[in-house]
Amino acid sequence: MRSLLFILAALAVIGSGYWAYHENYATQAELDRVDDLRSEIGGARERLAILRAEWAYLNRPDRLRDLADLNFDKLGLLALRPDQFGRVDQVSYPPLEQIDVTQPVDVISTGTSE
Amino acid at 42: G
**Domain residues of the chain, as ranges?**
2-72
- Residues 58-83 have pLDDT tens digits of 999 999 888 888 888 888 777 778 88
Note if the pTM is more than 0.85.
Answer: no
Backbone phi, then psi, for 33, in 5-degree steps?
-65, -40
Residues in the chain: 114
The per-residue pLDDT of the chain, averaged, comes to: 87
Query: Cα separation of 79 and 69, whole Å?
Result: 10
If DSSP codes are grouped into helix, strand and coil, which group holds residue 70? helix
